[in-house]
Amino acid sequence: MRTNPERRQALIDAAIEVLAGQGARGLTFRAVDAEAGVPPGTASNYFASRDDLFTQVGGRIYERLLPDEATIAQSREGVQDQARYAEIMHELVDRVSAFNSGYLALLELRLESTRRPELRAVLTKRIREDIDANIGHHAASGLPGDSTSVVLLYLALNWLIVERLTLPDIFTEREVHELVDAAVRRSLNG
């Protein structure tokens, strides 16, 4: 197996694009090579199998969905009230929706994980870590609400993102904005 970390990462990023565009069945070494613009056979030198490729993508995709340090720092500024909570949730929905190929690839990975135990283990671990980190950040932030509020918003906003990316004409941008505000308000007011 080759170990060039930059090339491996470029291949994994190409695999994300293939998953988003062609689905799990389209994720082949040949398709990844073509998307990455590398010679045929390159991906097979970096990944032992398609299962390995799926697992590597499952680990990488969340790295690209995370907010940068400036966004995290900004979320900690100012009064930590319901309005700030809504601002943070709007940023999250917009950031994740902006990486539409990544989120669509994640949906493909979730479906594929029902058939691939190693991928399921990677996604379960990664998503659980993400939820726990969000709960921990929330607890330390002074924002209103509790861990249940965090989980309810996680569930509601994830599906809102799915609607926004897969059936974008269901809700206008104004409706999306209003729904995020309502989800925050209702999760906090029980």
pLDDT digits (tens, 9 = 90+) for 29-69: 999 999 999 999 999 999 999 999 999 998 899 888 889 99
Give the domains, in start order, of the chain with CATH numbers: 5-61 (1.10.10.60), 67-188 (1.10.357.10)
Q: Write the pLDDT tens digit of every residue in 59-103.
A: 899 888 889 999 989 888 999 999 999 999 999 999 999 999 999
pTM to 2 decimals? Answer: 0.87
| Number of Cβ atoms within 10 Å of the Cβ of 112 | 22
